[in-house]
Amino acid sequence: MKLVFLGPPGAGKGTLAADAAVDLKLSHISTGEIFREAVRAGTPLGLKVKSILDSGGLVSDYLTVELVKERLAQPDVSGGWILDGFPRTIPQAEALEIFNPPERVVNFDVTDELIIARLAGRRTCPSCKRIYHVTNMPPKKDGVCDACGAVLVIREDDSESSVRHRLVTYRRQTAPLIGFYEVKGRVLTIDAAGSPSVVYEGFRKALR
Ligand code: AP5
């Protein structure tokens, strides 16, 4: 199965993808996580994209498409994948149609109000990448990852100004992809406003 997860920042794409990848035995590929890892490691790619990520803008289509093309050519993803956060522009979607078209596009429907509340409370594990929320999905021990014991961090791009910019970018450049895939009959829209288990159930029903 080849799935694209499409939705605004904070919609819960990464949270759902983590569970769905395990259940459906798919590789979870998050372009945002690949970029953040490069920034953390201080690689040439990381140095190039750090300021773009921090401000909430988009990395260039050329760079992102090349990165995904390379990742999808690796043998460990041959059993199927979830692309979380790619494509994000029409040129990226057109490129993906040529080298590896998705079968289904899961569109996360959620209000701005919920997005802001989710991003304001998000905490992530810098080591195993698990995602938490201070009230919705808190760790057992405050500020510490349940899975690996690392100290949880707030993402640089969860600042108020960056979130505002990311929402505008989403509406202008990414939301048009819903129409792009709708005419191809591949969009499954899910209500992403419920609890993680309710959202997951809606996702599994939509896939049937
Ligand atoms: P990326 O990492 O893809 O960020 P994003 O799309 O803005 O999405 P987020 O990771 O912020 O949110 P999410 O939907 O995964 O929500 P989450 O599950 O964490 O991209 C980051 C940056 O990289 C971009 O801004 C850009 O610069 C660059 N980039 C990436 N891809 C690119 C591309 N293709 N082209 C160009 N540039 C690119 O959940 C959020 C919070 O809500 C968490 O705290 C979670 O615990 C909580 N939560 C989740 N689900 C629920 C629920 N059902 N109920 C209650 N709380 C919930």
How many whole angstroms from 15 Cα to the centroid of ligand 1? 9
Domains of the chain: 2-111+173-207 (3.40.50.300)
Question: Do strands 131-133 and 122-124 pair parallel, antiparallel, or not at all (unpaired)?
Answer: antiparallel
Whether the pLDDT of residue 142 is over 90: the answer is: yes
- Give residue 13's pLDDT: 97
- CB of 133 sitting under 6 A from ligand 1: yes
User: Taking a C-beta distance cutoff of 8 angstroms, is the pair 28, 19 a contact?
Assistant: no
Tokens of 44: 């040439």
Name the nearest CA neighbour of 112 among 166, 156, 59, 58.
Answer: 166
How many whole angstroms from 194 Cα to the centroid of ligand 1? 17
Q: Which residues of 39-78 are buried (b: 16+ CB within 10 A; e: fewer)?
A: beeeeebbeebbebbeebbbbebeebbebbeebbeeeebe
Which amino acid type is present at position 32?
G
- Identify the bridge partners of residue 25 per DSSP, sorted by sequence position: none
User: Taking a C-beta distance cutoff of 8 angstroms, is the pair 87, 96 a contact?
Assistant: yes
- Give residue 21's pLDDT: 97
DSSP state of 158: G
Q: Is 155 a catalytic residue?
A: yes
DSSP state of 31: H
Instruction: Note the pTM of the prediction, 2 decimals.
Output: 0.96
Between 55 and 105, the more confident residue is: 105
- Give residue 160's pLDDT: 87
Whole-number average pLDDT of the chain: 96
Whether the pLDDT of residue 134 is over 90: the answer is: yes
Of these residues, 36, 88, 104, 130, which one is catalytic? 88
Which amino acid type is present at position 59?
V
Atom of ligand 1 nearest to the CA of 84: 3
How many whole angstroms from 93 Cα to the centroid of ligand 1? 18
How many whole angstroms from 118 Cα to the centroid of ligand 1? 10
- CB of 161 sitting under 6 A from ligand 1: no
Whether the pLDDT of residue 93 is over 90: the answer is: yes
- CB of 17 sitting under 6 A from ligand 1: no
